[in-house]
Amino acid sequence: MKSSFAIALNTFKETIRDRVLSVIVVFALAMIVASLWLATISLEQQARMMKDFGLTAVTLFGLVVAVFAAGNLVRKELEKRTVFFIFSKPVGPAQFIVGKFFGLALTVFLVVLGMGVFLFVVTWLVAGDAAGSVLLATLLIYFQVVVVMAVTVFFSTFASAILSSVLGVCVFIAGQLSHNVLSLTRLGEGEVLKALSWVVFIAIPNLAAVDAKPSVVGEGSIAWGQTALWLGYLIAYMIVALLAASWVFRRKEF
Amino acid sequence: MNESGRRPAALSAVDLHKQVRVGFRGRKLEILRGVDMSVDRGEVYGLLGPNGAGKTTTIKVVLGLMRPSSGSVSTGDLGRERIGYLPENPYFYDYLSGREFLHLAGRLFGLGRGQRRERVERLLVDVGLSDAADRHLRKYSKGMLQRIGIAQALINEPELVLLDEPMTGLDPVGRVEVKRIIDGLREQGTTVVLNTHILADVGELCSRIGIMCRGRLRWQGTVAEAAGASPGGLEGFFMEVVGREE
């Protein structure tokens, strides 16, 4: 536990001091500010437009930070050979993976939350609409991003940093569409297709199920009971991804 | 002391083999071909050999960074929490300062805050990096990295220290400082395994040596025995042992 904490703290310092992160955050904030201009196009729905555009920016930039940092997280330690330093100490593979993950998760949390709060303040000041739901949606965006991050960490234990990041982005996209897979069960009558659809549905994290953006921009409301269940599923998904990453790492030699 | 008048072993390897697969076709490469070695408690042991002899691999197997294909290695009752290690050509975290890096090493060993702080400050003085303690490691020279690497290897006050090429990149002053540190460890009764190419340092620092070549330990004994066995002294003897194998 102490080792995981030490590694998490170190990873947090590593990622928060990375200049690339600052550049991405500045871009994200600029995108949110740009939503002000976009919102002027439709004066009647200014707040709605700002939230819609802003939350999309929070999702995209949060995803970019999480996926590209996660792809490098373990790879960099292997390539720079800092794993020698780590594993010559009483540190196990699981403690290492968990520490790396939570360190980055904290950085991503600050980045996503920072963007969310900025969006909240901008919406409030410009459109006079102080919607707490923006912050709630930001929190759920963080959940989506962090699940993808866990899967990317798993990929990075055996694939290159770039490939892991690309696969992470693919998982995110698939996660937005995974509910469509179930539609296949209605199209086909075969039991095999039905079973296969369910397997794919379970294997791909259903990220759209915890997406609060439609309700924030006024396209329906959040079904809290269902969202809580899906959050439970995503947490389990994260744990499985990290366990798998630890298992792969345990078999490695340095 | 045991029956043979030697102290008990801090590290022993018996018939250690290590095979790795290389290339696209997974060709087998035998790095260790039956290493038998024994390092007594409290001694400074020099592990010598040409490049590719298997010295670093032996150390990695001792630390558990690699698994042996067969054979066994033991550090007795010393777990990793009682072992210190300096990797060859160390690379550490660029974005940490020297002080932060030593604190990280201390945390990984589970040291409490007070203990960590005391040891970090003492080691920074010992390795001559007090003035550069708050500088980021990316701004350190190779010699400074080597010295901070030695400091992290000693943060847990280990009973067994494995130093892989500790003199690499050091200027004469740095080498004197590292020798002083190793001398200090010997006086404290710490076992040190020194993996090095520099025979002059071995003569000065080590009580016993092992000469590795092509994955085997070809010779093991005291420095005096080695130096006396050849008209060319330690260097001549080393060349003879390595030459026999070549």
Lowest mean pLDDT segment, chosen from A22-26, A89-93, A214-218: A214-218
| Band (A219; pLDDT cuts 50, 70, 90) | low
User: How large is the average pLDDT for residues B164-172?
Assistant: 86
Pick from A17-26, A161-170, B90-99, B104-113: least confident? A17-26
Interchain proximity A88–B83, CB inside 8 Å:
yes
Q: Which residues of A fall within a CB distance of 8 Å from B29?
A: none
Stretch among A105-119, A183-197, B164-178 having the lowest mean pLDDT: A183-197
- Is residue A9 within 8 angstroms of chain B, CB to CB? yes
Last residue of a domain, one of B158, B173, B194: B158
Range of the domain at A116: 2-250
Q: Are B209 and B202 in contact (CB under 8 A)?
A: yes
Is residue A67 a contact partner of residue A148, using CB atoms and an 8 Å limit?
yes
B143 and B198 both lie in a single domain: no
What is the rounded distance in angstroms from the CA atom of residue B240 to the CA atom of residue B229?
A: 10
Q: Are residues B74 and B7 in the same domain?
A: yes
Q: Which residues make Cβ contacts (< 8 Å) with residue A36, sequence separation at least 6?
A: A50, A122, A126
Q: What are the tokens at A61?
A: 């930039």
Residue B33: pLDDT above 90? yes
Claim to verify: residue B96 and residue B74 sit in the same structural domain: no
Residue B2 and residue B24 share a domain: yes
Cα B45 from Cα B122, distance rounded (Å)? 25
Q: What percent of chain A has pLDDT over 90?
A: 48
Mean pLDDT of B180-208: 91
> How many distinct structural domains can be found in chain A?
1
Mean pLDDT confidence for B185-197 = 92
Residue A209: per-residue pLDDT: 84
Number of A–B residue contacts, CB under 8 Å: 67
Residues 13-72 of B with CB under 8 A from A: 60, 63-67
- Which residues in A lie closer than 8 A to residue B63 (C-beta atoms)? 87-88
Total of domains in chain B: 2
On whether residue B83 sits in a domain, the answer given is no
**Which residues neighbour A139 within 8 Å (Cβ) at sequence distance 6 or greater?**
A113, A116
DSSP secondary structure letters along A109-164:
HHHHHHHHHHHHHHHHHHH----HHHHHHHHHHHHHHHHHHHHHHHHHTTS-HHHH
Indicate the residue of A9, A14, A254 with minimum beta-carbon distance to B65. A254
Verify that B73 and B195 share a domain, yes or no: yes
d(CA B170, CA B141): 9
Tokens 């054979």, residue? B71
Q: For residue B208, is pLDDT > 70?
A: yes
Give which of B36, B75, B185 is closest to B194, Cα–Cα: B185
Same domain, B167 and B130: no
A198 touches chain B (CB under 8 A): no
Binary contact (B92, A85; C-beta < 8 A): yes
- pLDDT-derived band of residue A143, with 50, 70 and 90 as boundaries? very high
B132 is a domain residue: yes
Structural domain of B170: 1-78+159-246
Confidence of residue B198 (pLDDT cuts 50, 70, 90): confident
Rounded (10°) angle between helices A224-250 and A132-156 = 20
**The domain boundary residue, chosen from B108, B130, B158:** B158
Judge whether B188 lies within some domain: yes
Query: What average pLDDT is seen over chain B?
Result: 91
Give how far A14 is from chain B: nearest CA, Å: 6
Do B174 and B239 belong to one domain? yes
Same domain for B127 and B53: no
The pLDDT tens digits of the residues spanning A234-245 come to: 999 999 999 999
CB contact under 8 A, B80 and A88: yes
Question: Which of B112, B135, B158 is where one domain is finished?
Answer: B158
Give me the mean pLDDT over the B150-164 stretch. 96
Q: What is the pTM of this model?
A: 0.89
Residue with tokens 């086909």: A188
Residues 83-102 of A with CB under 8 A from B: 83-91
Please check whether residue B69 lies inside any domain of the structure. Answer: yes
ipTM value for the complex: 0.88
Confidence of residue B173 (pLDDT cuts 50, 70, 90): confident
Question: Percentage of chain B with pLDDT > 90?
Answer: 67
Nearest neighbour of A89 by CB, restricted to B92, B95, B109 = B109
Do B70 and B189 share a domain, yes or no?
A: yes
Same domain? For B14 and B62 the reply is yes
Chain B positions in Cβ-Cβ contact with residue A81 (cut-off 8 Å): 87, 91
- At B77, the pLDDT band (50, 70, 90 cuts) reads confident
B111 in the same domain as B232: no
Give which of A170, A168, A176 is closest to A73, Cα–Cα.
Answer: A168
Percent of chain A at pLDDT above 70?
94
Cβ-Cβ contacts under 8 Å, A88 against chain B: 63, 65, 80, 83, 85, 87
Residue of B nearest to A87 (CA): B65
Which residue, B32, B42, B122, B129, is CA-closest to B71? B32
The minimum CA-CA distance between A86 and chain B, rounded to whole Å, is 8
A contacts of B104 (beta carbons < 8 Å):
6, 9-10
Specify if B43 maps to a domain: yes
**Cβ density class A203-214: b for 16+ within 10 Å, e for less:** ebbbbbbbbbbe
Q: Give the mean model confidence (pLDDT) for residues B31-36.
A: 95
Q: Which of residues 193-232 of B touch A (CB under 8 A)?
A: none
pLDDT score of A25: 85
Please give the average per-residue pLDDT across A143-149, as a whole number.
96
Please indicate, yes or no, whether residues B68 and B163 belong to a single structural domain of this protein. yes
**Domain assignment present for B1:** yes
CB < 8 Å to B86, chain A? none
